Chain A
Amino acid sequence: MRPSAMTWVFLSVLALPALAAGQEALIEVSGATFRPLPIAIAPPIAQGDAASPAEEIYEALTFDLEVSGLFEVISRKAFLADPREPLGPEGIVWTRWADVAAEELLKFQVETGPQGLVLTYRLYEVATQRQSAGSTLEGRVADARRLAHRLADELVRHYTQGPGAFSTRIAFVRRAKGGPKEIWVADYDGKNASPIAHTRGISLLPAWSPSGTELAFTFFKKSLQYPNGHPQIWKANLAAGKTSALVASGDLNTGAAWSPDGKKIAFTLSRDGNPDIYVVNADGSGLKRLTRDPSTESSPVWSPDGTRIAFVSDRHGTPQIFVMDADGQNVERLTRQGNYNQTPAWSPRGDEIAFTARDERYAFDLFVVNVETKEIRRLTQDQGNNQHPTWAPNGRLILFTSDRDGGKALYVSSADGRVQRRISPRDGAEYTDPAWGPFPIAVEEKR
């Protein structure tokens, strides 16, 4: 039977309350807590005389994965598995790993080969008992730690599809007891540290060239005119071990920052006691003034795309973070909380700027401000004074100075501030002014 027009009317009337029932509240839940992935690193399987480098690799790898903030490395003491368990997958007793709540299992073996060390690793998913990654790395025996860093980089890439920053270098200022402040470079974890070619006098604020081959820094050059030293911008070629002056005008030149294309250097220059931001070509030519304000402008840093510069200015009374175009136009105030904000560091992703601020309890701590929303989040709290942040080139780690444990030391932290670890040795020296170097060139080419 063909439904008549009236039947349709009836049906539509009946449908109205059903429509009403469709008015459900949709509960939106966002803002997840991110949980580090529980991973177990099985005790290394050492072949031949590789036992001690294998332990060194294990220790460095554990440190890398923990400080990454991505993983929760399960304590070796908790392991129930047989330490002689093979590389697998045959012979792995999975329940033993599941029982210690490991979701991922990393097994590796180290042996000595003709080139030095040969590291073979396999990564497993405990729940599915499947191998998800695996490879072989080789390196010199002396570079056991760096082998671990490369493995950690591979793991970070495996899980996040982005590069790890464990094979990068850092620069910082080290001051031995009673000695002058010197520029040093080291691996990201503070190991393999050495001073750059010596220059007599105080050196501060190192800044990496984008290629990682040069450092710009502030050097207090003594002369008859300046018996206490004249702050100048100097450049060090790391491979050649040579240093040379770059800018030496005015009464003060300090706080160099290399532009991302490596062609320019922004810095603070003061004439007649009024510091402003200037830019100079990387060869020292073409000095150009960017800010013109009777107040103090300092600490310039470039945005990763090179179009903008963040800096500190006290033009409104207290030091605050500002942003301007790379030619000095369109100055904009970024921070409106706190009354002593300084040492900005632009994140490699470009969305955030880390900085040091003094809070209402007069403690210096690390904060991050979102460049677009200007929202501020806090990284450190209630652990001494924490200053001078610098980002790892992949934006996942931050290096800074802290006096939480007595003297000034270097600490590395996951970008969310959750995991913080000391990297500088307890040798009585003071460590300040950290600067995180770029990716090694080989990695850059690969990307």
Chain B
Amino acid sequence: MEFSRKEHGEAEVRPERTSVLARRPTPYRWAWMASVLLHALVFAAAFGASLSSGCGGRKEPEKPVVAKLVRLGTPREKHLLPRLPTAPPPPPASKQAPQVTPGKELSTPTPPQPPQPPKPQPEPKPTAKAQTPSATPTPPAQAAAPKSPEPKKSELDDILQRFAAADRVGKAEPLPGQPDGDPMGDAEEAAEGERYLALVQKRLRDHYVLPSTIPEAERIRLSAIVRIHIERSGRIARYEIEKPSGNPQFDAALEAAVTKASPLPPPPEHLLRTFANGFPVRFRY
């Protein structure tokens, strides 16, 4: 009898210690339930409020909005016709040439240097004599010579020519913007939001190049989401195509754009945690 009683007593004590969730006499259990529910409700309400008003003390749950950075400059008058951007075109062309053909030096035999007229090198005389019959057996091939009879230092020549070319095309003129714009901005009208995301957007757009042979009818449908993971420095560590477009040409172009856009500008401190799992980018035509 004693033995069995003891056993029984032990068995009664044990469950109370083992688990918080274990069954209890009814009054406690309902108190618990009510308490947890109440907490959950309060928490949810507070969370909801912070989400909707955006003024909760916590930074994390706020969804960052991509800003639209307005260009720094003066606005173009509304009644005027638009102008094409006239940023000096030669540099990007010569920069891109090697990018298109990575690695091999063989592959870039035509750096765009057509404006260089063939000029006799051994000609130190600075004076512009009308005719120098001795030293000019070569140029007649392309010679638009009468314009530039004085061969000077090649560097200065080069600069002058570039100026002349720029003059012909039209001087690089400032694009329209707003007086309170952002030096890095590229829009004519601003929208509030996270500046960093706007910078990332701009950088990606700068490298977003599609082959013009994609048919117009298909362009409208094209859309893909790429997740980009960046390091503190802004370097793109890796990316994956989360939602491919289904068009291999388009997807390949996106991969090229992301690769070329690296490194992105380094992210600000307050966004590091948000970007822990990378961030999605949707590309559309």
Residues of A at the B interface (CB closer than 8 Å) are 4-7, 9-10, 12-13, 16, 20-21, 23-38, 69-71, 75, 77-78, 80, 99-101, 159-162, 336-339, 357, 359-360, 365, 367, 376-378, 381-382, 417
Contact = CB atoms under 8 A, between A and B. Distances in A.
Interface of B: 21, 32-33, 36-37, 39-40, 43-44, 47, 51, 60-66, 78-84, 86, 100-101, 104, 106-107, 109-110, 168-170, 194, 197, 200-201, 204-205, 208-213, 215-217, 225, 253, 274, 279-285
Contacts of B44: 16
Given A9-B36, A337-B80, A382-B170, A31 B208 contact: yes
Contacts of B39: 13
Contacts of A35: 209-212
Given A20-B47, A77-B110, 15 more contacts: A21-B61, A26-B281, A27-B280, A28-B284, A30-B283, A33-B209, A99-B106, A159-B215, A160-B215, A161-B217, A162-B215, A337-B80, A339-B79, A365-B81, A377-B82
Contacts of B40: 9, 12-13
Contact of A16 (B43, B63, B211): B43
A359 to B, nearest CB: 5
A32 B81 contact: no
Contact of A376 (B32, B82, B194, B213): B82
26 contacts: A13-B39, A24-B279, A25-B63, A25-B65, A26-B225, A26-B282, A27-B281, A27-B282, A29-B284, A30-B205, A30-B283, A32-B210, A32-B253, A34-B212, A36-B211, A37-B211, A69-B212, A77-B109, A77-B110, A99-B106, A100-B101, A337-B79, A337-B80, A359-B83, A378-B83, A382-B169
Contact of A23 (B62, B209, B282): B62
Contact of B283 (A29, A80, A336): A29
Contacts of B215: 159-162
**Which 5 pairs show the lowest CB-CB distances between chains A and B?**
A382-B170, A20-B61, A159-B213, A34-B212, A23-B63
A12 B47 CA distance: 14
Contact of B208 (A23, A32, A382): A32
A360 B81 contact: yes
A33 B210 contact: yes
Contacts of B51: 20
Contacts of A5: 33
Nearest to B211: A37
Contact of A338 (B33, B80, B211, B212): B80
B210 A34 contact: yes
Contacts of A36: 211-212
Nearest to A155: B213
Contact of A29 (B64, B82, B208, B217): B208
Contacts of B107: 99-101
A336 B79 contact: yes
Contact of A7 (B21, B109, B210): B21
B274 to A, nearest CB: 7
B201 A27 contact: yes
A69 B205 CA distance: 21
A36 B96 CA distance: 14
B61 A27 contact: no
A27 B66 contact: yes
A25 B43 contact: no
A80 B44 CA distance: 69
A27 B110 CA distance: 38
Contact of A32 (B32, B170, B209): B209
B82 A20 contact: no
B210 A376 contact: no
A33 B80 contact: no
A356 B100 CA distance: 37
A4 B168 CA distance: 80
Contact of B279 (A25, A359, A365): A25
A259 B121 CA distance: 63
A27 B47 contact: no
B210 A360 contact: no
Contact of A13 (B43, B86, B281, B284): B43
A360 B60 contact: no
Contacts of A6: 21, 32-33, 36
A381 B169 CA distance: 8
Given A77-B110, A377-B82, A381-B83, A30 B284 contact: yes
A396 B264 CA distance: 36
Given A20-B61, A337-B82, A381-B170, A25 B284 contact: no
Nearest to B21: A6
A78 B194 CA distance: 46
